[in-house]
């Protein structure tokens, strides 16, 4: 029976906003996820509720050095990355999409792989804060969000995965058939709900935060 997170303790919970960067969300971006872009207003409201409730927020940004020294196999997987047209550290494309911009004191973790835990100091920060529950939002559902959720579970954090505050893109046929974003998203949620996380909507998450309901987001 998958575990449940019925009550969210703000003091021991962190919201991780995965890779909501211009290169993944802005209109015209080569790696854009339309699903992720569509959820921006709801995610922004949820983040304000987290702030009002005292839940810490950490952002991640997937970046690579211009010389490719941290690239690994991404050159072989994604054309815009290989061409240095996307996810170049220091470029405007890797900045967090402005409607979701971090507030003063909120950290942005630079990462070079799908998981926010791989070769970063994220776990160190969470342990310093006494975090026991990790909430995952952002993009893409099946890659960076999924990998971050799995690694969080591997590090013994309970994971809440937000079904309507994560999103992905359509998959072309590279030998196994094409999949629409909605199919990829649903399949990932099914797997995570069985094996890794308590999958819930953003509204369900807000309703489980200890301390009572919030009438509206804080401006």
Residue found under tokens 């046929």:
173
- pLDDT, tens digit, 9 for 90 and up, residues 146-157: 999 999 999 999
- Domain segments of the chain: what residues? 10-207
Among the ranges given (41-50, 153-162, 164-173, 210-219), the one the predictor scored with the smallest mean pLDDT: 210-219
84-109 average pLDDT score? 98
Radius of gyration of the chain (CA): 17
89-99 average pLDDT score? 98
Instruction: Give Cβ neighbours of residue 139 (< 8 Å, ≥ 6 apart).
Output: 18, 19, 20, 24, 25, 33, 35, 36, 145, 166, 167, 168
Q: Structure tokens of 212?
A: 């009572």
Q: Structure tokens of 189?
A: 């949620």
pLDDT score for 3: 87
Q: Is the pLDDT of residue 219 over 80?
A: no
Mutual orientation of helices 181-195 and 146-154 as an angle, nearest 10°? 10
What is the pTM assigned to this prediction? 0.95
47-64 average pLDDT score? 98
pLDDT score for 212: 60
pLDDT score for 213: 54
State how beta strands 107-111 and 56-62 pair.
parallel
DSSP 64: B
Question: Cα torsion at 210, 211, 212, 215 (round to 10°)?
Answer: -110
What homologous superfamily does CATH list for 10-207?
Isochorismatase-like (3.40.50.850)
Instruction: Give Cβ neighbours of residue 147 (< 8 Å, ≥ 6 apart).
Output: 113, 114, 115, 116, 118
Judge contact between 103 and 51, C-beta under 8 A. yes
The conformational region for residue 145 under phi > 0 = left, psi -120 to 50 = alpha, else beta, is alpha
């Amino acid at each position: 029976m998958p575990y449940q997170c019925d009550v969210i303790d703000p003091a021991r919970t962190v919201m991780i906003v995965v890779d909501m960067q211009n290169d993944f969300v802005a209109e015209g971006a080569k790696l854009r996820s339309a699903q992720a872009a569509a959820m921006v207003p709801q995610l922004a409201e949820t983040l304000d509720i987290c702030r009002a409730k005292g839940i810490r927020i950490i952002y991640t940004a997937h970046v690579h050095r211009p010389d490719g020294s941290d690239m690994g196999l991404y050159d072989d997987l994604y054309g815009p990355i290989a061409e240095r047209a996307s996810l170049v550290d220091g470029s405007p494309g890797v900045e967090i999409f402005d409607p979701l911009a971090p507030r003063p004191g909120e950290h942005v973790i630079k990462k070079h792989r799908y998981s926010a835990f791989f070769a970063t100091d994220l776990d160190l920060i969470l342990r310093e804060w006494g975090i026991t529950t990790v909430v995952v939002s952002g993009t893409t559902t099946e890659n960076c969000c999924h990998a971050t959720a799995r690694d969080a579970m591997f590090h013994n954090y309970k994971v809440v995965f937000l079904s309507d505050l994560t999103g992905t893109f359509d998959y072309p046929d590279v030998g196994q058939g094409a999949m629409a974003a909605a199919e990829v998203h649903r399949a990932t949620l099914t797997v995570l709900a069985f094996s890794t996380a308590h999958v819930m909507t953003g509204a369900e998450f807000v309703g489980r935060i200890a301390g009572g309901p919030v009438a509206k987001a804080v401006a």
